[in-house]
């Protein structure tokens, strides 16, 4: 079980952040991802594996300013 954007979800431990983002419809070029309060560097999205108990926050950016 992991917590993603405040919701407990199962079935994602062992996936990479990049896999999770693309499977969930996020554009990896338009997000910022934090895990347990620290940023996950963009270059690590493919390597960083989601582990049980982690709290992940994905901020998805939209245009306008």
Q: Does 63 bind another protein (CB under 8 A)?
A: yes
Size of the site for another protein (CB under 8 A): 18
Q: What is the Cα–Cα distance from 41 to 63, expressed in whole angstroms?
A: 22
| List of residues 6+ apart from 37 with CB closer than 8 A | 55
- Residue span 9-28 as binding mask against another protein, x where in contact by CB under 8 A, dash where not: ------------------x-
Pick from 4, 9, 42, 54: which binds another protein (CB under 8 A)?
Answer: 42
| Torsion on CA atoms 59, 24, 5, 42, rounded to nearest 10 | -40
Binding site for another protein (CB under 8 A): 27, 29-32, 34, 37, 39, 41-42, 57, 59-65
């Amino acid at each position: 079980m992991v917590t993603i954007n405040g919701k407990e979800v199962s079935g994602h431990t062992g996936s990479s952040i990049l896999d999770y983002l693309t499977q969930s419809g996020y554009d990896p070029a338009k997000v910022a991802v934090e895990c347990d309060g620290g940023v996950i560097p963009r270059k690590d999205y493919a390597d960083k594996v989601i582990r049980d108990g982690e709290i992940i926050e994905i901020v998805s950016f939209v245009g306008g300013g």
